[in-house]
Amino acid sequence: MSEIKEECGVFGIFDDAEAVKKTYFGLHSLQHRGQESAGIASSDGEYIKCYTGMGQVGRVFRPSKGFLEKLENPTAIGHLRYSTTGSSNPLNAQPFLSEYSQGQIAVAHNGNLINANLLRDEYEAYGHIFKSSNDTEVVVHLLAKPTHVSKPDPLAHVLNHLHGAFSILFLFPDRIEAARDPFGFRPLCLGKTKAGKYCVASETCAFDAIEAEYIRDVEPGEIVTIDKTGLSSRFFVEPGTVTPGHCIFEHVYFAKQSSRIFGDSVHEFRKQSGRVLAQEHPVDADIVTPVPDSGTSAAVGYASESGIPFDMGFVRSHYVGRTFLAPSQELRDLAVKMKLAVVKEAVAGKRVVVVDDSVVRGTTTKGKINSLREAGAKEIHMRVACPPLVSPCYFGVDFPTKEELIANNRTLEEIRDFLKVDSLGYISLDGLLSCASLPGDHYCTACWSGDYKMPVNTAFNKLSLERHQMQLFDNID
């Protein structure tokens, strides 16, 4: 399920002899959260250095360029940005380094500010100029505002101006500040290395990558400061004044199986969702196969609950294939198959349960089902580990439009017919929420329910900030 894009991952570590290289490893483990650009900013306690580039972290920081060495400093933050097919803009790569009256600052942000446009218009009216089409730049303008600078806690003051999702790291020359919006839409976790150095990351898998231990989450509405005195905390909104709205789609699809987020294991959540799916939509079949990799954990759960043998009906390619302009329908069909091949012998003549994490537009799923049918599957029973998607996300996920979502205006039977499967079962929202340990209302489920945690202006979208952005750039190859 590659049609929905996460927006960004962050990592930071304070006062570690290998801070920059550990940030590299941390980012690499979070690479699934964004492949468009990668960057690292580091501080020697007095000055900040920064390097950002287009592409995956392994390419941006390839050894021949030597940037990991050039950045060497005891404190660092890093950022990954998601990949779009359209125009990519190096100005939007993060960490976003700038200078204002209080000195240098680098910011790494995961989320989406729904009032970024309003704030930008306001600051332009104050006489500010903007270089990027990035909502993160707005945050720095707020921090730089003289009336904000003079507040007792300028950062807490500024964060109260922001509406939307933000799990955000600020690197000042002498400290890292990590903050999370009051709903806690996106995950943000604290860790500690064996040597007792604090680190912070979007997901706990980044701690595993550097052999650090997970301590706890940064709480919704909390600012955690990591500096020479250790770790300290304060809240920019009083805790408990708002019910959290963790993005449950992180559990369904975005987060890595090996991570813990929002207090639960991602893998266990997904396996349990497979079990619930088996209870809600049992079927008589010969094998259960995931659509790898995102459906694998749920398929293991389905197989275990149903007693139907698990098998690998698909094999995923580990290699990148570039798309060229395919002049014929035949070639376009072939191009789709590049990422996923069917294992004929596993499915031929069998009644197959296919477990996937979600169905978005439906076209990709239809292609996979068709491949199974051509390989000789006798019956195909589609099981989806999340409810039908009907509403876009304004809190950090790059969804198709409402019109493109297959479940938006079709009955279950119409979808089944479109996908050409013998049966189709989505997990229920209650069933899905039952897999998590927090109460159901602590999660944002708007993409299934259309019920958002805060008012959103649906006319707003991420492109509005890019309306006049016309700096041209070289493509990276």
Using CB under 8 A, count the residues that bind a copy of itself: 109
Token output for 151: 């507040």
What residue has token string 């990276």?
A: 476
Is 53 a residue that touches a copy of itself (CB under 8 A)?
A: yes
Minimal distance in Å, beta carbon 440 to a copy of itself? 21
Strands (DSSP E) contained in 147-240 are 164-172, 175-180, 189-192, 198-201, 213-217, 222-227, 230-235
Is 205 a residue that touches a copy of itself (CB under 8 A)?
A: yes
Minimal distance in Å, beta carbon 302 to a copy of itself? 12
- 214 has which bridge partners? 191
Q: Comparing C-alpha atoms, which of 246, 254, 270, 262 is closest to residue 395?
A: 246
- 51 has which bridge partners? 40
Q: Can you tell me which of 87, 216, 230, 331 binds a copy of itself, judged by CB under 8 A?
A: 331
Which residues have a catalytic role annotated?
Answer: 8
Nearer to a copy of itself, 339 or 378 (CB): 339
Segment lying near a copy of itself (by CB under 8 A), choices 20-28, 397-405, 406-414, 452-460: 20-28
* Rounded distance between C-alpha atoms, residue 325 and residue 339, angstroms: 17
Q: Can you tell me which of 118, 156, 242, 335 binds a copy of itself, judged by CB under 8 A?
A: 335
- 43 has which bridge partners? 48, 75
Considering only residues 397 to 456 of the shown chain, the ones binding a copy of itself according to CB under 8 A are none
Nearer to a copy of itself, 57 or 200 (CB): 57
Token output for 371: 């491949």
Minimal distance in Å, beta carbon 321 to a copy of itself? 5
447 is in an annotated binding site: yes
- 189 has which bridge partners? 201, 217
Is 364 a residue that touches a copy of itself (CB under 8 A)?
A: no
Give the max Cα distance, the chain. 73
**Per-residue H/E/C for 86-97:** CCCCHHHCCCEE
Binding mask 389-408 for a copy of itself (x = CB under 8 A): --------------------
Is 31 a residue that touches a copy of itself (CB under 8 A)?
A: yes
Considering only residues 129 to 188 of the shown chain, the ones binding a copy of itself according to CB under 8 A are 129-131, 137, 140-141, 144-146, 148-149
Minimal distance in Å, beta carbon 344 to a copy of itself? 7
Token output for 278: 């088996």
- One-letter amino acid at 325 equals L
Is 312 a residue that touches a copy of itself (CB under 8 A)?
A: yes
On whether the CB atoms of residues 354 and 422 are closer than 8 A, the answer is no
Is 57 a residue that touches a copy of itself (CB under 8 A)?
A: yes
* Rounded distance between C-alpha atoms, residue 442 and residue 445, angstroms: 9
Nearer to a copy of itself, 104 or 445 (CB): 104
On whether the CB atoms of residues 193 and 201 are closer than 8 A, the answer is no
Is 109 a residue that touches a copy of itself (CB under 8 A)?
A: no
Residues marked as binding? 247, 294, 356-357, 393, 444, 447
Residue ranges at the known binding site for Mg(2+): 294, 356-357
Known binding residues for [4Fe-4S] cluster are: 247, 393, 444, 447
